[in-house]
């Protein structure tokens, strides 16, 4: 990987990696630190990283950094919630439904949340998600389906409560 | 796996996750079209999908890597920036010199202080002796000194006159006698007579000196008889050092070495212990 490819990767993937992390841990400064660490590792290992797999490499490194960060548990205080991070929403069918969905996603465990975020935001396949999260394809499928059903039930329940 | 009322949920989930082939997707859409009651179930699952959202990483340029960052300095220029280390100076000799100088200075200071203390003590003793001397004694002392000086002056005068007479070849007679006890010689006396007179003068002078000495002795004797306490003090003024034989048989004796006092009893105990240790070592070796 050349210097130019690296700088292109910054332009292409920095926002996506940051969004994935900040939606998970909900702490902007820590998310920035994790993203910087991911790109630092990419630069250090630029000689061995395939230029076609830069994005998955960045998400993989960032995901494991995030897991370490969550295990430390030192800065898991919620400084902002999903609502404040949705200022740049480009599209949402229903504002109320969106609020309920974000509330339901915050109640998922970190693995389920990461699965949903990687699937919906980045559009990764089960196989790619498995590579990033060190899971098998079938595990990703099962865990993600459980997360969807859990979100569906919560949305229905919250919709009924709010109605 | 066939799409039916039992398997529709799995198909719906895969449909939502966009994991179905085009054929499978079409099959799901037809299934919902022919079974409208499952449309709500599919819609509920589609509601769980997060819509696209843009979150920007601010100051992205901080992540960039520029060629200038990895620019390397010229090796010679880099070396010139470092200060060359000088060979360490061997400070052993200097340290020793300082140490020896300090010891020498300390020794000199100690010796100087001890000497000063000793001299001051002697001066104090003399001053105290003079101060304690009574007025009568002081007068006696002055008188004694005067007599001694008079006797010396007399002897010197007589001797000088005798020499003058001896050197006179024209047989001139000494016309003037300075002191009282001597007789005046007549003019025109013969040489032999003059010589005999000269011898008489010398004998008189010697006898007067003897008398003066006797007077001095008597005064000193008187001094001894009057105040034997102060006589020792006076004696000390002329005889500053006196030596006394150490009585070895005394048990409580103290030896003074300079300004250090050493208790012999303590030394005795220490020497006994040392002797005991040496004897023990000898016996162990044997």
SS3 label, residue B87:
coil
SS3 label, residue B256:
strand
Q: Between the CA of residue B178 and those of A29, B154, B156, B199, B202, what are the distances in Å?
A: 128, 9, 12, 17, 14
User: Which band of pLDDT confidence, cut at 50, 70 and 90, is reported for residue A96?
Assistant: confident
Q: CB contact, 8 Å: A124 with chain B? A: no
Nearest to B63 among A36, A144, A155 (CB): A36
Stated pTM of the model? 0.49
* Main-chain dihedrals φ then ψ at residue B10, nearest 5 degrees: -65, -40
Scanning every residue of chain B, which has its alpha carbon at the shortest distance from the alpha carbon of A140? B17
Average pLDDT of the residues in B32-49: 90
CB contact under 8 A, B17 and A14: no
**Separation of alpha carbons B241 and B95, rounded Å:** 45
User: Which band of pLDDT confidence, cut at 50, 70 and 90, is reported for residue A115?
Assistant: very high
Average pLDDT of the residues in A1-8: 86
Nearest to A19 among B55, B64, B66 (CB): B55
Residues of chain A neighbouring B65 (CB-CB closer than 8 A)? 3, 6-7, 43
Q: Which residues pair with B98 in a beta bridge?
A: none
CATH 3.20.14 matches A1-80: no
Range of the domain at B195: 135-226
Number of folded domains that form chain B: 3
Scanning every residue of chain A, which has its alpha carbon at the shortest distance from the alpha carbon of B20? A125
Sign, CA torsion B11/B15/B20/B25: positive
Residue A91 has what pLDDT? 41
Of B22, B41, B73, the residue that ends a domain is B73
Do B127 and B260 have their domain in common? yes
Among B201, B137, B195, B143, CA closest to B171:
B195
Q: Provide the shortest C-alpha distance from residue A74 to chain B (in Å).
A: 23
Asked whether residue B82 is domain-assigned, the answer is no
Q: CB contact, 8 Å: A154 with chain B? A: no
Asked whether residue B177 is domain-assigned, the answer is yes
Kindly report, residue by residue over B53-111, the tens digit of the pLDDT.
888 898 888 888 876 666 666 777 777 777 777 776 666 567 778 888 899 999 999 99
**Separation of alpha carbons B256 and B240, rounded Å:** 18
- The DSSP secondary structure of B193-204, one letter per residue, reads HHHHHHHHHHHH
Asked whether residue B278 is domain-assigned, the answer is no
Residues of chain A neighbouring B55 (CB-CB closer than 8 A)? 15, 18-19, 22-23, 85, 88
Residues of chain A neighbouring B66 (CB-CB closer than 8 A)? 3
Asked whether residue B272 is domain-assigned, the answer is no
Q: Cα-atom radius of gyration of chain A, to the nearest Å?
A: 17
Residue A36 has what pLDDT? 94
Mean pLDDT of chain B: 71
Do B58 and B196 have their domain in common? no
Q: Provide the shortest C-alpha distance from residue B40 to chain A (in Å).
A: 11
Among B154, B212, B143, CA closest to B179:
B154
Kindly report, residue by residue over A144-153, the tens digit of the pLDDT.
999 999 999 9
Give which of B50, B61, B68 to mutate to test A binding, by max A Cβ within 10 Å: B50
The answer, yes or no, to whether residue A69 has pLDDT greater than 70, is yes
Do B127 and B164 have their domain in common? no
Do B27 and B53 have their domain in common? yes
C-beta neighbour count of B3 within 10 angstroms: 16
Asked whether residue B78 is domain-assigned, the answer is no
Do B35 and B163 have their domain in common? no
Mean pLDDT of chain A: 85
C-beta neighbour count of A87 within 10 angstroms: 9
Asked whether residue B5 is domain-assigned, the answer is yes
Kindly report, residue by residue over B238-277, the tens digit of the pLDDT.
555 566 666 666 666 666 655 556 666 667 777 788 888 8
* Main-chain dihedrals φ then ψ at residue A115, nearest 5 degrees: -60, -45
Match 């054929």 to its residue by tokens: B23
| Of B112-116, B151-155, B198-202, the least confident | B198-202
Residues of chain B neighbouring A19 (CB-CB closer than 8 A)? 53-55
C-beta neighbour count of B174 within 10 angstroms: 19
Nearest to B65 among A3, A11, A36 (CB): A3
Among A116, A102, A126, A103, CA closest to A146:
A116
Kindly report, residue by residue over B119-131, the tens digit of the pLDDT.
888 888 888 877 7
Do B188 and B56 have their domain in common? no
Asked whether A14 and A62 are in contact (CB, 8 A), the reply is no
Nearest to B48 among A6, A85, A148 (CB): A148
Scanning every residue of chain A, which has its alpha carbon at the shortest distance from the alpha carbon of B69? A3
How much of chain B, in percent, has pLDDT values that exceed 90?
Answer: 15
**Separation of alpha carbons B57 and B107, rounded Å:** 79
What is the distance, to the nearest Å, from the Cα of residue B67 to the centroid of all Cα atoms in its chain? 66
Q: Cα-atom radius of gyration of chain B, to the nearest Å?
A: 64
Q: CB contact, 8 Å: A14 with chain B? A: yes
Do B257 and B115 have their domain in common? yes
Asked whether residue B80 is domain-assigned, the answer is no
CB contact under 8 A, B47 and A155: yes
Residues of chain B neighbouring A126 (CB-CB closer than 8 A)? 17, 19
C-beta neighbour count of A105 within 10 angstroms: 22
Asked whether residue B245 is domain-assigned, the answer is no
CATH 1.10.10.10 matches A90-163: yes
C-beta neighbour count of B276 within 10 angstroms: 10
Residue B190 has what pLDDT? 47
Asked whether B41 and B12 are in contact (CB, 8 A), the reply is yes
Average pLDDT of the residues in A126-131: 94
Question: Is A121 or B286 the better-scoring residue by pLDDT?
Answer: A121
**Separation of alpha carbons A24 and A68, rounded Å:** 13
The answer, yes or no, to whether residue B44 has pLDDT greater than 80, is yes
Do B19 and B102 have their domain in common? no
- What are the structural domain ranges in chain A? 1-80, 90-163
CB contact under 8 A, A23 and B55: yes
Nearest to A10 among B51, B63, B67 (CB): B63
Residues of chain B neighbouring A91 (CB-CB closer than 8 A)? 51-52
């Amino acid at each position: 990987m050349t210097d130019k490819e690296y700088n292109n990767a910054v332009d292409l993937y920095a926002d996506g990696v940051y969004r994935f992390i900040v939606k998970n841990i909900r702490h902007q400064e820590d998310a920035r630190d994790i993203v910087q660490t991911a790109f630092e590792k990419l630069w250090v290992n630029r000689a061995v990283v395939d230029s076609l797999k830069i994005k998955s490499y960045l998400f993989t490194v960032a995901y494991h950094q995030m897991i370490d960060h969550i295990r430390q548990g030192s800065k898991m205080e919620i400084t902002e919630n999903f609502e404040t991070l949705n200022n740049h929403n480009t599209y949402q069918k229903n504002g109320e439904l969106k609020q309920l969905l974000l509330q339901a996603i915050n109640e998922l465990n970190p693995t389920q949340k990461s699965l949903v975020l990687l699937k919906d935001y980045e559009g990764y396949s089960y196989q790619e998600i498995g590579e990033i999260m060190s899971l098998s394809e079938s595990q990703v499928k099962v865990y993600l389906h459980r997360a969807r059903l859990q979100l569906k039930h919560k949305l229905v329940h919250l919709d009924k409560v709010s109605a | 796996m066939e799409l039916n009322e039992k398997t529709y949920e799995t198909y719906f989930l895969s449909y939502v996750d966009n994991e179905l082939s085009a054929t499978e997707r079409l099959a799901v859409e037809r299934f919902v079209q022919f079974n409208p009651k499952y449309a709500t179930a599919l819609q509920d699952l589609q509601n769980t999908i997060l819509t696209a959202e843009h979150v920007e990483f601010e100051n992205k340029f901080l992540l960039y890597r520029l060629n200038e960052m990895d620019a390397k300095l010229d090796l010679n220029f880099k070396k010139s920036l470092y200060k060359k280390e000088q060979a360490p100076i061997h400070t052993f000799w200097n340290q020793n010199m300082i140490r020896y100088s300090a010891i020498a200075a300390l020794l000199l200071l100690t010796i100087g202080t001890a000497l000063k203390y000793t001299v001051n003590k002697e001066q104090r003793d003399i001053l105290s002796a003079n101060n304690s001397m009574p007025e009568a004694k002081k007068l006696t002392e002055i008188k004694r000194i005067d007599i001694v000086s008079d006797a010396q002056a007399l002897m010197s005068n007589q001797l000088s006159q005798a020499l003058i007479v001896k050197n006179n070849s024209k047989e001139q007679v000494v016309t003037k006698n300075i002191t009282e006890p001597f007789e005046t010689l007549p003019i025109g006396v013969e040489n032999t007579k003059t010589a005999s007179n000269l011898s008489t003068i010398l004998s008189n002078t010697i006898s007067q000196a003897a008398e003066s000495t006797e007077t001095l002795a008597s005064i000193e004797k008187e001094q001894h008889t009057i105040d034997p306490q102060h006589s020792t003090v006076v004696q000390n003024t002329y005889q500053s050092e006196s030596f006394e034989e150490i009585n070895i048989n005394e048990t409580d004796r103290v030896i003074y070495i300079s300004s250090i006092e050493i208790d012999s009893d303590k030394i005795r105990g220490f020497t006994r212990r040392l002797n005991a240790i040496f004897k023990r070592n000898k016996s162990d070796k044997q």
